[in-house]
């Protein structure tokens, strides 16, 4: 069967299975099987598929139709122009989180400094920031050893030498350390949220998604703990749910942060909230 016909059939199957982007999913999976980019696929779609590539592709399409995330099936996801290896031990990097990176870059006005990325996962935030600010040092921490190893491997493969990753449960291993910027995309979904039974999140680690206190427990813990690790005038920047901005602004203001504000994501929803540690405490 020709590659374009194979794609068309897979697209129909994924559409029936409820994929929100069936054609894109099919193209990404086929490119992964063939080891080519999508431009090649558009140019050479009239070529026949080998039996081996056909069988591999059909198996991946079946897994995607059953709900498996594309990023887990291919083992990679693009974020901020970086190709990141993924695993089932970490969240899949999402485009909305690029809003957090944009805020961090806007705040990184000094020629040098130190950034901390809490719950780094694949290392997406720390690596994206470090790639844009080579004179800064970015540190990513995670309490999951497999996540730390994955982030380290991503940094080595991408050649980003100013990003460093270590094992730590939030601030536990960072006694005495201070940073100009602290970033976090922590668990912020309430355990009763019906979206946990839908889409890709069904397959992602619940420990990286769910937090107590209606999703605010980890956001509160970070807001409180960051004050002891920020330089005077430093900034805390956190991603949160689209309906949590008011609550998170209240958390930061209650902890004594100044200049508290929220930023909107690609869909126009308040997704990131930031606050500045006072110059004097």
- pLDDT for res 266: 87
User: Hey, which residues does 270 pair with through a beta bridge?
Assistant: 264
Q: What is the mean pLDDT of residues 30-51?
A: 93
Per the CB < 8 A criterion, the answer to whether 11 and 26 are in contact is yes
pLDDT in tens, 212-242: 888 999 999 999 999 999 999 999 999 999 9
Across the range 29-37, mean pLDDT stands at 95
Predicted confidence at residue 280, as pLDDT, reads: 67
The C-alpha R_g of the chain, in whole angstroms, comes to 20
Confidence class for position 207, pLDDT limits 50, 70, 90: confident
Cα 81 to Cα 77: distance, rounded to the nearest angstrom: 10
CA distance 228 to 151: 25
Residue 199 has pLDDT above 90, yes or no: no
The confidence score (pLDDT) of residue 191 equals 83
Helix boundaries (H) for the chain: 3-16, 22-34, 38-43, 51-65, 70-74, 98-107, 124-132, 145-158, 212-215, 217-226, 245-255
Q: What are phi and psi of 277, to 5 degrees?
A: -70, 135
Model confidence over 143-169: pLDDT tens digits? 999 999 999 999 999 999 999 999 999
Q: Using 50, 70 and 90 to split pLDDT, how confident is the model at 203?
A: confident
Residues 64-73: tens digit of each pLDDT: 999 999 999 9
> From CA 165, how far away is CA 145, in angstroms rounded?
10
**pLDDT exceeds cutoff 90 at 114:** yes
Give the Cα separation of 114 and 172 in Å (integer). Answer: 18
DSSP string, 210-257: B-HHHHTHHHHHHHHHHTTTEEEEEEEEEE--TT-HHHHHHHHHHHT-
Q: What DSSP character marks residue 2?
A: B
pLDDT tier for residue 281 given thresholds of 50, 70 and 90: low
**What is the pTM (predicted TM-score) of this model?**
0.91
Average pLDDT, the chain: 94
Paired tokens of 178: 């201070």
DSSP states along 50-72: PHHHHHHHHHHHHHHHTT--HHH
Contacts of 102 (CB under 8 A, 6+ apart): 263
Domain ranges of the chain: 3-68, 80-276
CA–CA dist 270, 188 (Å, integer): 14
Q: How far is CA 81 from CA 77, 124, 158, 200, in A?
A: 10, 10, 11, 21
Say which CATH superfamily domain 3-68 falls into.
Answer: Ubiquitin-associated (UBA) domain (1.10.8.10)
Pairing of strands 82-85, 76-79: antiparallel
Q: Determine whether domain 80-276 maps to CATH 3.40.50.450.
A: no
Write down the pLDDT at residue 194.
Answer: 80
């Amino acid at each position: 069967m020709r590659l374009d016909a194979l794609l068309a059939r897979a697209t129909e199957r994924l559409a029936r299975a409820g994929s929100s982007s069936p054609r894109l999913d099919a193209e990404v999976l086929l490119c992964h099987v063939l080891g080519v980019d999508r431009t090649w696929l558009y140019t050479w779609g009239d070529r026949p598929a080998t039996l081996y590539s056909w069988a591999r592709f059909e198996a991946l399409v079946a897994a995607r139709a059953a709900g498996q995330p594309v990023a887990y099936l291919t083992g990679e996801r693009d974020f901020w122009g970086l190709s990141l290896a993924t695993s089932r031990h970490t969240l899949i990097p999402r485009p909305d989180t690029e809003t957090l990176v944009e805020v961090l870059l806007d705040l990184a006005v000094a020629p040098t400094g130190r950034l901390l990325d809490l719950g780094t996962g694949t290392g997406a935030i720390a690596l994206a920031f470090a790639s844009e600010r080579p004179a800064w040092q970015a540190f990513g921490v995670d309490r999951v050893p497999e996540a730390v190893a994955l982030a380290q491997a991503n940094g080595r493969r991408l050649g980003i030498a100013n990003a460093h990753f270590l094992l730590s449960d939030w601030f536990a291993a960072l006694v005495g350390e201070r940073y100009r910027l602290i970033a976090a995309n922590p668990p912020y979904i309430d355990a009763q949220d019906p979206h946990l039974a839908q889409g890709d999140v069904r397959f992602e680690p619940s420990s990286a998604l769910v937090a107590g206190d209606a999703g605010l427990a980890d956001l509160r813990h970070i807001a409180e703990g960051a004050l002891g690790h920020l330089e005077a005038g430093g900034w805390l920047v956190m991603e949160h749910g689209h309906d949590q901005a008011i609550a998170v602004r209240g958390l930061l203001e209650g902890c004594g942060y100044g200049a508290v504000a929220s930023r909107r994501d690609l869909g126009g929803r308040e997704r990131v909230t930031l606050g500045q540690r006072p110059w004097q405490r």
